[in-house]
Every structure is written in C-alpha cells, then in structure tokens.
Amino acid sequence: MDVKYTNDGKKVVVIGSLNKEETIVREIFIINKKEIPSGKNFVVTSLHDAPAVSWKEKRLKEMEEEYDKNKSHYEKQIREARIEYRKEISVINAITQNSKALSKDFPEEEFKTLINFLNGDITYIVIGGHADWEILEFKEGINQEDEYDRESLKLITLFGKTDGTLSWKLNRYSDGSGSNREIYPCTSYKEALEKVKESILKKAEDYLCDSVIKSAKKYKVKLPKDKLKEYYNKKLESVKRNKINNTDTLNKTNESINAIQKELDKLKKK
C-alpha cells in the first residue's frame, strides 16, 4: 500500500495515476483502531512522503509552545501588576477622601490649633498616654533630655486623619525616629488642664487603673464615685486572693523546712 500525504495533511493511499500531473487517492481513516482506506476516491495534484506543514502553521505552533512555556511567568506579572494597581488606587482614594474631609469638614478647633502653632502661640502641651497624662511647658516638652539622644530638641509630627482631624505626636528622638507619644498643643495652662480633665474622665468611663487615679489626684480631677468603688472592690478581692495564695505557699514552705530539719536531726543522732 503506497501511503502519501496531501497538502492539507490528509493521509491517503495511492490508487493510481490519472495523468502526469494528477493522482487518484483514497483517504485513510482510523476504524476500530486500525488504519483503513475508506470513502470515495479523489484527485490531487501533489503528494508528500510526510505530513506537510506550512510556514504559517509551523510559526503558530512555535508561538503556542512559547506561550505555554512562559504562561506562568506572564500570569505572575499580570497578578503583580493588578496588586500594584489596587495599591495605587487605594492611596489615591485615601488622599482624595482626606482632601475632601479637610476642605469640607475640617473642625474649627483643629484649624485654630494649627494656626496657633504656626503663629508660635502654643505655650503648653499635654502629653497623653494609655492611662496617664502630663502638662508641660512647650519649651520644656520639646527639650526633654534622653540618654540615647544628645540633641535635646524633639521633633513634633503632625498627622492628618481621614475624618479631617489632626493628630499631634512628640517623637522620642530629635530625628523623628523611635517611638512617639500623642500630645495636645494648648495656648495656656488653663486650656491644658481642661484637656487633661476631659481625657481622664473619658478614660474613667471605660477603664480605671492606678495610673488614671494617680493622674486624677495630681490634677485634682474628681472621678465618679461608683467607678472608684467598683475598682477598689475588685482590687481588694484580688489582694485577698493573693493573700490566701501567699499564706498557702508560706505554710507549704514551713512544712518543707520542718520535714528537712527532722531528717537532719535524725542524722545527728546516728
């Protein structure tokens, strides 16, 4: 059986020659897993000993293979590009929202504080913590000495929140590095004292501890009686439990001492 291939890739068996230029062939099909010539005869003008592939088909195949080879790399690049795009959009949205808030809902008090600071009218600062507060003169506050920082002047950082309010921070070190504490710039001691009282009472509503009570006593802030009573009752119960635990520990320690002493006494008698 003389097997050849047509220009369009069909596998055929040669039936015979029609003339010098044309050949009669029949296509080969796979039937029950066997190659069998079937169908009608047809005439072709050219035949090949192996399947013919056009330049276009060859190039398309090469491109597909190249794509499959680099597919994961391209997909990774696309994912990374999308992540960066989302980040950029988030930053732009945040800036836009913040700008809108500052221009539309900027609180008057925040604006006044900023102007006072720029004009050099700030004379006191309230340094706030988790549960303690301190009023310092402005110059004293920004010139606090630190054993790790020879430059005494501390950096004040101003942050703008997305709701249009401002957040003032006093950095630990002069270059702005390290930790920082929230501060409230004030134009007088009276204003600073009012801010401290407001902060202490607000904290006392949710949380009382020795530091809050200490700050309240220092700045003569009257804490709610019911909150104090509840706090001291809990503290008293805690101290009582510790006393019981410590007594048990002391008794067990004494028992151990007595047992060891008895063993030593026995050894002396022998």
Nearest alpha carbon to residue 120 among 146, 151, 142: 142
Residue 222: per-residue pLDDT: 92
Would you say 133 and 199 are in contact if contact means Cβ atoms under 8 Å apart? yes
Residue 86: per-residue pLDDT: 83
Residue 143: per-residue pLDDT: 74
**Strand-strand pairing, 42-44 and 23-31:** antiparallel
Residue 106: per-residue pLDDT: 60
Cα 93 from chain centroid (whole Å):
18
Burial of 17 (0-12, 13-18, 19+ CB in 10 A): exposed
CA dist 156 and 128 (Å) reads 14
SS3 of 218, please?
Answer: helix
Residue 59: per-residue pLDDT: 79
Q: What is the pTM of this model?
A: 0.49
Q: Which residue's structure tokens are 């330049």?
A: 55
Would you say 180 and 167 are in contact if contact means Cβ atoms under 8 Å apart? no
Residue 229: per-residue pLDDT: 92
CA dist 13 and 15 (Å) reads 6
Residue 150: per-residue pLDDT: 52
Residues in the chain: 270
Residue 189: per-residue pLDDT: 93
CA dist 154 and 174 (Å) reads 4
Q: What is the pLDDT along the chain (270 residues), one digit of tens a residue?
A: 789 888 888 899 999 888 888 999 999 898 888 888 988 999 999 888 888 777 777 777 888 888 888 888 888 888 888 888 888 887 767 655 655 555 555 667 777 888 888 888 889 989 887 788 889 888 887 776 555 555 566 777 777 666 667 788 887 766 666 677 888 899 999 999 999 999 899 988 888 889 999 999 999 999 999 999 998 998 899 889 888 888 888 888 988 988 888 878 777 776
Stretch (H or E) spanning 213? helix 210-218
Longest CA–CA separation in the chain, Å: 134
The letter for the amino acid at 150 is R
CA dist 223 and 259 (Å) reads 52
Would you say the C-alpha torsion 190, 194, 199, 205 has a positive or negative sign? Answer: positive
The letter for the amino acid at 84 is E
Nearest alpha carbon to residue 27 among 45, 36, 8: 36
Residue 194: per-residue pLDDT: 93
Residue 190: per-residue pLDDT: 94
